[in-house]
Amino acid sequence: MKAIILAAGRGSRMMNLTEDRPKCLVEFKGKTLLDWQLGAISAVGINEVGIVTGYKRDLIAERGSAEFNNPAWAETNMVASLERAAAWLESDVCLVSYSDIFYEAQALRLLSATPADLAITYDPLWLEAWQRRFEDPLSDAESFRFGQDGSVLEIGNKAERIEDIQGQYMGLLRIAPQGWREIQRVLNQLSHGDRAKIHMTGLLQRVATAGVRKVMAVAYAGEWGEIDSASDLAAYVDRPTAARRTPSG
């Protein structure tokens, strides 16, 4: 099993914090987001880590076992960055992490333990964090519904009611070679322009709707967060932790 960190973007909403560094090098609680991710990956025994670089690539190119560069990082999204690591995805199970999040190793343990070809973690206790980050949580929260078998039914759409949101996607994925082949099949149906611009949740929705392979949802209620803006840093630093528990299953 290998790990891939998608670290090509700048994170323009971070303003001056990313003027001289990629978003993953922003510090949170005394260490960079990238160090949070690498620490969690190491804790679960994964030694091969590929980093997809782009903005200020020279600052992080040597932090992993391999570099996959996305020179078109400014014009493309996460999916285009993921495709740069196709050689790994075709040959081994990969745990994929966004680079603007922090989380505990347990999130990766849960993903590595599932036999699914495609799986994502989600936070069932998402609302408290979104209330801290946004005056109106629905201004940013996306739809997320899964079926009785745990497979994703809807993800990434505009949500109208909090009651309809069963959790929030975290930016952590498990992709086995069979799952990657299905992702490629779905992507190959898109125009060149749509393929370059599609967001990860849009891709996951298309895969789920196609019905060829399920995208399984894995609950994780441990500590984690996404840092989209400078204000998020304060929101998570001040966040109470007593209510959050990692599922034992």
Cα 247 to Cα 107: distance, rounded to the nearest angstrom: 10
Measure CA 178 to chain center.
Answer: 20
Q: Which two tokens stand for residue 121?
A: 């973690």
pLDDT of residue 61: 95
Tell me the whole-structure pTM to 2 decimals.
Answer: 0.93
Beta bridge partners of residue 122, listed in sequence order: 169, 219
Cα 172 to Cα 11: distance, rounded to the nearest angstrom: 18
Residues 6+ apart with CB under 8 A from 92: 1, 2, 177
pLDDT of residue 82: 97
Residues 6+ apart with CB under 8 A from 214: 116, 118, 149, 151, 152, 208
Q: Give pLDDT tens digits along the chain (249 positions).
A: 999 999 998 877 777 888 889 999 999 999 999 999 999 999 999 999 999 999 999 999 999 999 999 999 999 999 999 999 999 999 999 999 999 999 999 999 999 999 999 999 999 999 998 998 998 999 999 999 999 999 999 999 998 899 889 999 999 999 999 999 999 999 999 999 899 899 999 999 999 999 899 999 999 999 999 998 888 888 887 665 544 554 433
pLDDT of residue 13: 74
pLDDT of residue 242: 42
pLDDT of residue 233: 85
Domains defined for the chain, CATH in brackets: 2-237 (3.90.550.10)
Cα 180 to Cα 119: distance, rounded to the nearest angstrom: 11
